[in-house]
Amino acid sequence: MKLAWKEKAIKLILLATASTSILIVAGIFVFLAKEAGQFAIEPGLKELLGTRWVPVSFQKESFGILPLITGSLLVTVLATLLTIPFGVGASVYISELARPTERELLKPFIEILAGIPSVVIGFFGLVVLVPLIKTCFGLSTGLTALAGAILLAFMAIPTVISISEDAIRSVPASYKAASLALGASRMQTIWKVTVPAALPGIVAAVMLGMGRVIGETMAVMMVTGNAAVITAWPFDSVRTMTATIAAEMGEVAFGSHHYRALFCVGIVLLVATFGLNMIAQKVLSKYRIG
């Protein structure tokens, strides 16, 4: 009798720890929505659709988040374009071609890359990458969307490699055996059979990498120049949503329009990462069944 009660209690405690994440997610949503909702009432959501982000002004403050969204979008798309060849190439090599000793050497380095704090990567970017971009492309300044995208690619590549490597490994050996038996070369087998079969997993890996990229703050803030302009040109400065929140939350007056506008930016960001993760999970689960 006593034992049953004890067991129940333990089960309850475990349930509580397991559901903490749900509570936290719900709590964050409610918290963001509360502040952002007040912005919707006064001065109204229309204010957010503007093309100017000028939160500190003696004239007129404007809270148009379009330049911030396009800024995040540009950096994320560029980073993804850079990540795909490196991520997929490396995962194919590690899972299909590398000798065991090579794998033993490569894997820890990829894990180390994943573990470097983003502020350290940002510092490296500011001191090494930004001047390099400036001289390579003959720009007036290297603080560009491209610099941010390259740093973000560094951070996304390890994620993409480990997940796509898993996907490629779980392609049934019989597929490869059949292809080789039909006289296809090793390379033909990899590119025509193995990689296409693992494609959904690779797509999911890239999307999870993008989720990491869009939410990354510190490194981007240090190297993108943070000018709130709408542009699709990689050599312009951009201001991302994350950098805006991080840079401005510190000194904003609580309860002001600016404060609430930052929460609206937070919601847009949350919805974007949430969407990306959802799609990635869908793709992954579909692939596992099939």
Site residues for another protein per CB under 8 A = 52, 54-59, 67, 126-127, 131, 134, 140-141, 143, 221-222, 225-229, 237, 239, 247-254
Contact 148, 124 (CB under 8 A): no
For the chain, the straight-line distance linking the first and the last C-alpha, in angstroms and rounded, comes to 47
Residue 5 beta carbon to another protein: minimum distance, rounded to whole angstroms: 19
Q: Calculate the CA 51 to chain-centre distance.
A: 24
Q: Give the torsion sign (CA, 137, 141, 143, 145).
A: negative
Question: What residues does 63 pair with on adjacent strands?
Answer: 53
Nearer to another protein, 163 or 222 (CB): 222
Residue 128 beta carbon to another protein: minimum distance, rounded to whole angstroms: 12
Please list the alpha-helical segments (H only) found in 52-125.
66-92, 100-115, 118-124
Residue 6 beta carbon to another protein: minimum distance, rounded to whole angstroms: 14
Residue 175 beta carbon to another protein: minimum distance, rounded to whole angstroms: 50
Helix/strand/coil percent split, the chain, to 5: 80, 0, 20
Residue 261: enclosing H or E segment and its boundaries? helix 257-289
Nearer to another protein, 40 or 252 (CB): 252
Residue 132 beta carbon to another protein: minimum distance, rounded to whole angstroms: 11
Nearer to another protein, 10 or 105 (CB): 10
- Quickly count: other Cβ atoms within 10 Å of residue 289's Cβ: 5
Nearer to another protein, 206 or 222 (CB): 222
Residue 225 phi, psi dihedral angles, 5° rounding: 85, -20
Residue 134 beta carbon to another protein: minimum distance, rounded to whole angstroms: 7
Nearer to another protein, 49 or 278 (CB): 49
Extract the tokens encoding 259: 């404060």
SS3 226: coil
Match 């100017």 to its residue by tokens: 52
Nearer to another protein, 51 or 285 (CB): 51
Nearer to another protein, 96 or 236 (CB): 236
Residue 156 beta carbon to another protein: minimum distance, rounded to whole angstroms: 22
Contacts of 126 (CB under 8 A, 6+ apart): 222, 223
